[in-house]
Amino acid sequence: MSQPNVGSTRKTDPTTRWFFDTLEIAVRDRQASPSSVFGALARGAVRPERSSSYPPCKREFGSHYRAAIAYFQDEFFGLPGTRNVPNGSFRVLCQCALSGGSVRQGLTRAIRFLSIIKGIERSPVVHEGDRLIRFQLPPDPNTCDDVGYLANFGMLIWCRFASWLANTELPIVRLELVGLRDVHAVISPLVTAEHIVFESKCAAVTYRVKDLERVSSQAENTITDLIANYPLSLLRLQLEPGDTAAAVRHILARHAGSSPLTTTAISTELNTSVSTLHRRLSSQGTSVQQIKDELRTQSACVLLQEARLDLMEIAEKCGFSEVSSFHRSFRRWTGMTPVQYRQKMTLAPPEISPARYPQV
């Protein structure tokens, strides 16, 4: 199958465009016509990349996705390794996870539920060590997803679900994605990871065990809100009110590759004053510069995995005019030099033994 038309002459949010392409692949994977699916249940919507206004807005993405769920009668539609999951399964999954107490126990119970439910052919595999815990989505050889869209979508949903359980952004040690080396601008608004690895054989995420020991702060009534707005409620394409740091991160990621945005430009996009922006970010324990550094660190870590790029090219892509400045900044951000990081990423990920599931 050829890669979807992710390019567009219309300037748009790359994250929204990417998720519409993922949605179309998921429909094709069921050997159905996107136009028939969305035409029947989304009031005549056409294939996103053929639309004159491609891609539709984020709200339409949510309605399109829910239309596909209804059309295929599969509540887990779009996730790899699933077929015809009965209605109501997602609510039961959430209830199982909330009964676990901690986020770690909740995710364990969710995986146990996925392993026995009808329609789930492959559930996440857990590898656990003393300090790290890794969740891996096994590849699905039966899918038409030869460019990694569905695998990565499934992993992003899993990451967002874990953060939903914690009711906060969980720090990610390592995020492994299948293919799609050039979609850093797509991933940035959704997750922040210390290390992002592209062209992996399977999608996976690694957390620190201590970060998953926090108590889940969700409740039964929040499950209804989650389901009503799925998948946007997990993907966080609609930022929650008051999450200024997430809004700034989203704006900076959207303008990645263009001239650096000033604080004034960011405050203008948020329709607020510079002083108010500083105050809101300060209340969240961060600043514009700190968020910029986080995104530049993530970008640098991705580029350093490109063996064909030398340090000068990487420094320029990260907005530095001199390698020495990039070297000092990267060491301040990560505690290691760019060369040390590049050497580290050529090594295999730390070994962690298979998990021993606790009794549920």
Looking at per-residue confidence, does 256 or 322 come out higher?
322
Angle between helix axes 323-334 and 288-303 (nearest 10 degrees) is: 110
Is it the case that residue 188 has pLDDT exceeding 80? no
- On the CB side of 286, CA atoms within 13 Å amount to 16
Is it the case that residue 350 has pLDDT exceeding 70? no
Is it the case that residue 135 has pLDDT exceeding 90? yes
Instruction: Tell me the pTM.
Output: 0.68
Q: Determine how many CB atoms are found less than 10 A away from the CB of residue 201.
A: 10
Could you tell me what percentage of the chain is helix, strand and coil, using 3-state DSSP and rounding each to the nearest 5?
Answer: 50, 10, 40
Question: Can you give the pLDDT at residue 256?
Answer: 66
Q: What pLDDT digit, counting tens, does each position of 237-248 carry? A: 544 555 788 778
Q: What pLDDT digit, counting tens, does each position of 297-320 carry? A: 888 887 887 778 889 998 888 888
Domains and CATH numbers, the chain: 78-212 (no CATH), 239-345 (1.10.10.60)
pLDDT above 90 covers what percent of the chain?
14
Q: What pLDDT digit, counting tens, does each position of 154-165 carry? A: 888 899 899 888
For every residue of 107-133, DSSP letters joined together read HHHHHHHHHHSTTBS---EEEE-SSEE
Is it the case that residue 322 has pLDDT exceeding 60? yes
Looking at per-residue confidence, does 134 or 4 come out higher?
134
Mean pLDDT of the 250-257 span: 70
Question: Can you give the pLDDT at residue 288?
Answer: 92
Q: What pLDDT digit, counting tens, does each position of 6-26 carry? A: 333 344 566 777 777 788 888
pLDDT level of residue 205 (50, 70, 90 thresholds): very high
Q: What pLDDT digit, counting tens, does each position of 37-95 carry? A: 666 554 433 344 444 344 456 667 777 787 788 878 888 887 877 778 888 888 889 98
Computed over every residue of the chain, the mean pLDDT equals: 77
Question: Can you give the pLDDT at residue 36?
Answer: 66
